[in-house]
Structure 1
Amino acid sequence: MLIVCFARCKETVRFEAARAQKVPLGKNLKALLTNQYFWAVLILWTVTCVHGAIVGTSLPYYCKYIFHNDAWMYSVLYLAEAGTLVLGAMLCPLLLRRFGKRNISLAGAIIAVAAHAALLLDPFSFSWALITSIVRALGEAPLTAVVFGMMGDVIEFGQWKTHIRQEALIFGGGSLGFKIGTGITSAVITSLLDKAGYISSTGAAVIQPLSAVFMIQKIYVWGPTLMWAVAVIVLLLYKLDQRYPKIMTELAAREAKGEM
């Protein structure tokens, strides 16, 4: 699929002279840090990655100590979510042109919050966990599919706002931000389990204290729910899709004049 993307994507460069101009680092950083939609999309990008970190870290414990089966239940739950996420992302282009990036992402985030919160109705049922995981993945799919396109829109907005085009800095800043976020997430989960009295079971079966089992349940149930609730809030405030056509029209007019 990467080869198809490479073969089908063409770049049109019209700003050779203007882009060659040196922009001071301080001015570049100021333009980045004052781009409100950079921060919005950075948070959304982080949500998708932190969700993966929370589920990937806590689900094996959940299967072992809540379902009392870590032989195959983890694989089934994880693959069900991952497979549904891939299929859902592939279907997103059918909705994208009609509803736009923000609207399909917002609808999906609401579904993800509702589906994962529904696990609270029966957190000890494997079949219910499987159903909610699949529905949640359908909700996750739109944002996962379009978040990088949204970052591209942020580049256009930044150029429109500051007359500075920052492809590398915006994507580099976003990548650094989400990596820090996922690293912090793993550290927080480890710290919470330690404080709850979790006993490492490597090499031998142990009986976990109820406090540790309860913490595992809270991390798996509430972690993704809260993360996708953050996405809902950010997307409710996200207005770039509405402004984008006007921004691109103005940028095209600048292009015609040889301006950034």
Structure 2
Amino acid sequence: MTESRVLVQIDGPLAYVTLNRPDKLNGIDLETIDELIAAATSLRGNREVRAVVLRGNGRSFCAGLDFGAAFKDKKKVARMFFAGPRTVNRFQLVNQVWRELPVPVIAVVHGHCYGAGLQLAACADFRFTTPDATWAILEAKWGLVPDMAGTVPFSELLPADVLMRLAMTGEQFSGARAGELGLATEVSEDPLKSALALVDQIIERSPDSVAATKQLVYGTRRGSLRKTYRLERKLQSAMFKASNTAIARKAGAAKTKPVFGPRTFGR
């Protein structure tokens, strides 16, 4: 029997949700997406849970989307990616569900925090990281844009020029730098200990006011999420079709420097 890709452990008022593909640096495949959504759905119905800690087994929090594993089933990828104009797709839902959960969600980051993993961390309410963790909005390496709901929290947390620099280049930066930029809530040699200290403070307050506060903050931050997500899908669809995307993927897989053709997107 295949071991679960996502482990859920309830410890009194605290739920631990752990990415469990340590041999793949917790790279996200299609099954991981399904299990993360299922985990969030089950926690939503548990009114005894007061906070959630998101973390990763092994050497990393999450090294991003596991393209090799995910794209073995291209038909399922297509079904999960394309959504009607009034809904989010599964790739967006896997991260958006944590923002919608009526309890605080804390990502505890170590090792790699790349691409889809960084979008998952960004969609948590708080991010605690080791100073030597490595972060990157890595989609640029593959000729893509962030399209797993990360656009919303990235835009909330970062100035536009900083976000564009990180998203356009895919440059790597440390957990310490993530703290300086405001992406990380706190930098600590023991981020789990720091996260649990925050949990202790939160559970001293009314769970209703905590839930209402979360809804209030997110509900007043920006305009329509659906419009933002539709734009994500539109741009990513264009990237999938772009010839330079194939060049980026080939070079990324071969670990060589890509040689791109002329720009094909945008007027």
TM-score by length of 1: 0.27
Bigger radius of gyration: 1
Instruction: Tell me which protein shows more helix as a share of its residues.
Output: 1
Instruction: Tell me which protein shows more strand as a share of its residues.
Output: 2
Which structure exhibits the higher relative contact order, with contacts defined as CA atoms closer than 8 Å and separated by 6 or more residues? Answer: 1
